[in-house]
């Protein structure tokens, strides 16, 4: 619905990054339970060491975007590759930078100052900042942390045509 889309694209929404993490955790938990219910194997994490390996399970959504453009299917065992405008290694760089944030519990802003990821008065103040960095909406340092989540979707979606010859 348009109102839901507007809600999740509102960078000024208090705790938006936290909602981003919560929603993705809920989706993955539901997916895990559904797979176990149907006797399927657990899902494997998609991490930099697997990004250039074949994705074993294809995907044929039979869905389209709001604009009417159909989402592309992906056959079994297709690997992600460099796109014409972005190397796959850039995702890994962003991933490692975000891992450093988590390990050190602090974020470096575009101006060079630091934001500590901490809890204050029983409220996790860091998860929203971290969520904004991972999704890259309202990120405090887009150059350093990039667009891991959003462009990760793009790399997976364009695995069938990474050079964009058939779009």
Neighbours of 49 (CB within 10 A): 9
Is 135 in the active site?
yes
Phi-psi map region of 25: left, alpha, beta (phi>0 left; psi -120 to 50 alpha):
alpha
Cα 34 from Cα 115, distance rounded (Å): 38
State the SS3 of 90-150. Answer: HHHHHHHHHHHHHHHCEEECCCCCEEECCEECCEECHHHHHHHHHHCCCCCCHHHHCCHHH
| Phi and psi at residue 137, to the nearest 5° | -110, 120
Catalytic residue chosen out of the listed positions 34, 66, 93, 135: 135
Could you list the active site residues?
A: 135
């Amino acid at each position: 619905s348009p109102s839901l889309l507007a809600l999740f694209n509102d960078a000024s929404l208090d705790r938006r990054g936290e909602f981003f993490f919560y929603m993705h955790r809920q989706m993955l938990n539901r997916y895990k339970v559904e797979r176990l219910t149907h006797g399927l194997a657990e899902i494997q994490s998609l991490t930099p060491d697997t990004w250039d390996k074949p994705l074993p399970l294809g995907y044929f959504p039979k869905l389209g975007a709001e604009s009417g453009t159909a989402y592309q299917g992906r056959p079994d065992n297709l690997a992600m590759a460099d796109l014409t405008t972005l190397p796959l290694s850039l995702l890994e760089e962003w991933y490692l930078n975000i891992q450093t944030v988590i390990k050190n519990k602090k974020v470096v802003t575009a101006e060079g100052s630091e934001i500590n990821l901490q809890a204050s008065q029983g409220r996790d103040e860091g998860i929203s900042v971290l969520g904004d960095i991972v999704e890259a909406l309202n990120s405090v340092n887009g150059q350093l942390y990039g667009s891991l989540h959003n462009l990760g979707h793009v790399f997976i979606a364009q695995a069938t045509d990474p050079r964009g010859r058939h779009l």
